[in-house]
Amino acid sequence: MPTEVVPMTSSWTREFVDQLSDREFRHAYMTDQVRTHIALAIRILREQEGREWSQTELGRRCDKPQSWISKLEDPEYGKVSLQTLFEIAEAYDLPLLVQFPEWSDWLRRMKNQSRENFEKKSFDGDFLNKFSTTKAGESLPTSSKVYSYSDYAATSGKTLASNDSVNAMVAVG
């Protein structure tokens, strides 16, 4: 049976949905949110405590000039390619996620554009190992596979943003 995923709490008003009913408005809004999200993410990750890189430093790690980074941090720059994002991801040692979500999921995810929501930790094997199996191919008991919010917060030492899917979504049916 298919699982329907619905938001537990609404993050938007009926008036906002009415506004989105215009297709041109909707896609202009969505495109700008995504572009701004990418530009802000690149900048905030660069400035994040522990990195504090200049544009020149990030450029050096991508083997690109500072001016290239400056363009990427401009929401109006419309030529960010998937390859570019992979290069930035490698520089930050972060994975990249590209999806075509449904509107409800997208709106909820894009809601929080605070600095804290953009800051991400680079690859950390010790942290990942806290969630790994003890031996390759060996499954953990079912009860150990699902981590609650409090378990995650206690283990990671960080709280989830309000728009994190695990916190705001519930599976129905």
Partner 1 sequence: MAIVWEYRCYVNGAGLNEIRSWYDRQSPKVRGKFISRLQTLRQLDPELWVPKPFRWLRHECAGLGEIRFETGNVQYRPLGFRTDFTFTMVLCAIEKGGKFEPANACTAGLARKSEVHADANRSCPHDFILD
The binding site for partner 1 (CB under 8 A) comprises 11-13, 15-16, 19, 22, 24-33, 36, 39-40, 43-44, 73-76, 112-116
User: Which three-class secondary structure string do you get for 84-138?
Assistant: HHHHHHHHHCCCCCCCCCCHHHHHHHHHCCCHHHHCCCCCCHHHHHCCCCCCCCC
- Phi, psi angle pair for 84, to nearest 5°: -60, -45
**Shortest Å distance, C-beta 6 to partner 1:** 19
**Minimum CB distance to partner 1 smaller for 39 or for 91:** 39
**Minimum CB distance to partner 1 smaller for 36 or for 167:** 36
**Minimum CB distance to partner 1 smaller for 63 or for 76:** 76
Q: How far is C-alpha 120 from the chain's CA centre?
A: 9
**Minimum CB distance to partner 1 smaller for 31 or for 133:** 31
Nearest residue to 72 (alpha-carbon basis) of 109, 28, 118, 35: 35
**Minimum CB distance to partner 1 smaller for 29 or for 147:** 29
Q: How many Cα atoms sit within 13 Å of 86 on the Cβ side?
A: 3
**Shortest Å distance, C-beta 172 to partner 1:** 24
**Shortest Å distance, C-beta 84 to partner 1:** 17
**Shortest Å distance, C-beta 159 to partner 1:** 12
**Shortest Å distance, C-beta 36 to partner 1:** 5
